[in-house]
Structure 1
Amino acid sequence: MHLPARVLDDAVSADATRPVLTFYDDTDEGRGERVEISRRVLRTWVAKAANALQEGLDVQPGSVVLVDLPSPHWRLAYWALAVWSVGATLTVDTHEGADVLVTTDPDGDLAEDCDEVVAVALPALSRQFGTELRSGVMDEAAELASYADDFTAWDEPAEDDVALVHGGERTTYAELLEGLEELPRGARTLVTTTDPGLFVRQVLQVLAAHGSAVLVRSDHPVAAGSDEVPDERLVSEGVTHRSPAVATD
């Protein structure tokens, strides 16, 4: 079994400086933001988030973390990998009970049912959440930098431990990379899915194939998954493969 943390480590060992995620936010909210991060930088984000979960919020194998972030988004990618690094269960089903909530809406209904809440500001240059947070809510933008750049899990998950809850289905750690469309090794892959459960598995698949991904978030998700993604962007980014925007059998 290839644990997600090892998949990421293997990719970094192969070429630490290669861009792994290039994110375009074409929504009105994002105002055309473009973010590019290397494999090494992604691992640093994952390590900091994993340390925050393990040391700051006592997350461990058996814990459930609800990550309520938009898809596709680079912040969803590193939080998913952080949850798996700790060996916990990631859920993207909002009705599923969770010990910790990672969200852009720390005052929403979801926060009422979680013991711990992490507030996430989406813009890359955020240094604080932007609004006053109630006591006990972690401000990711302000606090994550204080956690270490390296991470060591206190315990590792078993093959049959649940890694992902998505659409009512439970996927074990051994199954995370199973049942996905085959991805060419080293491919530069366009990812546009608004399905967060599919997205986090596609990111892991890209890492396992030692490739990289261009993530495009849009106010019009159907268009984003079609030929309406500008051809000049695909050419300039060197896209060689497109991952499906919806799950396939």
Structure 2
Amino acid sequence: MTPDAVLLQMLRTDPARPRVTYYDDAEGPTQGERIELSAKVLANWVAKAGNLLQDELDAGPGTVVGLDLPAEHWRTLYWALAAWAVGATVSTTTAGADVAVTSDPGAEGADVVVTLAALARRSPEPVPAGAVDEASELATYGDRLAAYQEPAPSDAALRTPSGDTTYESLVAIGSGTAGRRAHVSGDLEHVLRETLATWADDGSVVLVRDADQARLPERLAAEGVTDRI
């Protein structure tokens, strides 16, 4: 099963059920945000980001899309899914990437600058010349995505310092209890792999950025979390 097939399965099973619940405990303007995304809403973000990647940045099979975004963030998930939807390789670093997606407006070589705030309509800081300001431009892209090319099963889907994982090997099937609700935390590779595995089990994930450890147990209990991974 590919990541794109995982999203399609969720849309067919229950498009309205929350599949991502996100809390932001990080100091700064986004602190206190809580976001919920159903499969339908997630797919809409994926379509827009995928169309941007294809139409603006010529991304497809063989393109390496580097993500410099917080691991435990809802925006990171749809950018990864969008890259996979067009057959590209997601890299956990922007070093050597063909397309660099970052939340740092000052990053050298940025192609897409992502503003993390949920209601942002433009980057609060100037973006580099030639870079896409996601907050102001993503909404202009289509709500439906048709990939120009499909990746081969043996194509690299995920690139990390330890090596590549192919499309046919990325999603762990049947790795847990069906319908589970998992709190996923860790580095970018771990979050992406475990989120896909949870979704493949028809589950949902809870992400907490820079979690307040004193509040975390009560919050996870209120969210009905069954697994912590």
Q: Which amino acid aligns with 2:197?
A: Q
> Is this contact kept in 2: 1:106–1:117, CA < 8 A?
no
Deviation of 1:181 after TM superposition, in Å, equals 9.3
1:151-190 Cα distance to aligned partner (Å, 9 max, x none): 0111111111000111231111111124x99321100111
Residue 199 (structure 2) aligned to one of 190, 195, 207:
207
1:92-116 Cα distance to aligned partner (Å, 9 max, x none): 1343x1111000113224x2xxxx6
Q: In structure 2, what is the equivalent of residue 241 of structure 1?
A: 227
- Equivalent position SS for 2:164: strand
Q: In structure 2, what is the equivalent of residue 92 of structure 1?
A: 92
- Give the alignment of 1:9-88 within 5 angstroms: 9-29=8-28, 30-88=30-88
Question: TM-score, normalization: structure 1?
Answer: 0.87
Deviation of 1:33 after TM superposition, in Å, equals 1.1
Q: Which amino acid aligns with 1:188?
A: R
Question: Compared with structure 1, are the counterparts of its residues 188 and 26 closer, same or farther at alpha carbon in structure 2 (3 Å cutoff)?
Answer: same
CA distance in 2, matches of 1:144, 1:49: 7
Q: In structure 2, what is the equivalent of residue 130 of structure 1?
A: 124
CA RMSD of aligned residues (A): 1.7
Residue 154 (structure 1) aligned to one of 148, 154, 157:
148
CA distance in 2, matches of 1:198, 1:213: 13
- Equivalent position SS for 2:85: helix
Q: Which amino acid aligns with 1:212?
A: S
> Is this contact kept in 1: 2:175–2:201, CA < 8 A?
no
> Is this contact kept in 2: 1:106–1:137, CA < 8 A?
no
CA distance in 2, matches of 1:145, 1:182: 35
Match status 1:189 vs 2:182: yes
Moved more, 70-79 or 128-137: 128-137
Q: Which amino acid aligns with 1:239?
A: V
Q: Which amino acid aligns with 2:97?
A: A
Deviation of 1:133 after TM superposition, in Å, equals 2.1
CA distance in 2, matches of 1:156, 1:200: 20
> Is this contact kept in 1: 2:64–2:97, CA < 8 A?
yes
1:42-98 Cα distance to aligned partner (Å, 9 max, x none): 000001000000111110101111111011110110000000000011101343x11
Question: Compared with structure 1, are the counterparts of its residues 88 and 187 closer, same or farther at alpha carbon in structure 2 (3 Å cutoff)?
Answer: same
Residue 118 (structure 1) aligned to one of 112, 117, 127:
112
Q: Which amino acid aligns with 2:43?
A: R
Deviation of 1:241 after TM superposition, in Å, equals 1.1
The percentage of counterpart residues that share the same residue type is: 45
- Equivalent position SS for 1:216: strand
Q: Which amino acid aligns with 1:68?
A: D
Q: Which amino acid aligns with 2:142?
A: A
| Structure 1: runs of 5 or more not aligned | 244-249
> Is this contact kept in 1: 2:94–2:100, CA < 8 A?
no
1:182-219 Cα distance to aligned partner (Å, 9 max, x none): 321100111121x1011111221122111111111116
